[in-house]
A = this chain, B = another copy of it.
Amino acid sequence: MNTQELNKVNLNPHVSVDCVILGYDSNELKVLLIERKYSEENENGQAHNPKLDIALPGNLVRDDEDLDTSAKRILKELTGIDNIYMEQFRAFGNPNRVRKEQDAEWLKTMRTDPQARVITIAYFALVKLEDYVPRADSFARRSEWYPIKKVPKLAFDHNEILEQALQVLKFKVTHYPLGFELLPEKFSLGQLQRLYESILGDDLDKRNFRRKMKSLKLLIPLKEKQQGVAHKPAELYMFNMKVYEQLQGGILK
């Protein structure tokens, strides 16, 4: 490959971060999605036919920020949440992954070359829904929690990104006790089990699950019970942060 060829083929791409922000509520796993307005363009470059679609929250990475920082900023702008479990899991870079007509307006806003492709670094985040305060992002776009099973068709390749995030989560949750990140501070073993079941998409044996969880020594039993439920109230537990931190690097051998 010589320099001429390079001139042809290398237009710097845009780089964005997209976040798969997962929460858990009413025994359902949910994902935070935003509405995105865009207009198609006619051949004169004029906008027409305004449309709305739904997407994962994301934005361009700023020049002066680290990828992780960028992901945290975007999460903060959108949800106000700070300081939570977040992890980069994959870059997506199919040259056609952002359809130009769909994205023209957004790219113009950025004043960058609208011809360039967009490569995105995908992150996933786990949040406690109780902590979440809804907030429009810096472009005043509405955001909403969607149950995983009811996610509509998303912009670009965002359905695929979401799908892969869920795969990764499934894998991780069987190896690291990540489930806690999604639950309120005090929780019952039943809640924890239902969370695992909705992540793994499979039923677990109650007694085996409890034995396993207790053997990890991650649970601090509170001397407290559920209130106001129409059945036997469950004992509540807290999560033992100290033991968790010692596990960094894995439960697995």
Contact = CB atoms under 8 A, between A and B. Distances in A.
Interface of A: 1, 3, 6-7, 9-15, 60-67, 70, 88, 90-95, 109-113, 116-117, 119, 121, 138, 171, 174-175, 250, 252-253
A13 B12 CA distance: 6
A22 B114 CA distance: 38
Contacts of A62: 9-10
A10 B66 CA distance: 13
Given A88-B91, A90-B88, A109-B3, A9 B63 contact: yes
A133 to B, nearest CB: 20
Nearest to A97: B66
A248 to B, nearest CB: 12
B1 A111 contact: no
A117 B62 CA distance: 10
A26 to B, nearest CB: 28
Report how many copies the assembly holds.
Answer: 2
A59 to B, nearest CB: 9
A112 B61 contact: no
B95 A63 contact: yes
A138 B5 CA distance: 12
Contacts of A67: 91-93, 119
A10 B64 contact: no
Contact of A9 (B64, B113, B119): B64
19 contacts: A1-B138, A3-B111, A6-B60, A6-B111, A9-B62, A10-B110, A10-B111, A10-B112, A12-B12, A12-B14, A12-B116, A13-B13, A15-B15, A15-B93, A61-B119, A64-B95, A66-B93, A67-B119, A171-B250
Given A3-B109, A6-B110, A91 B121 contact: yes
Contacts of A7: 111
Nearest to A117: B63
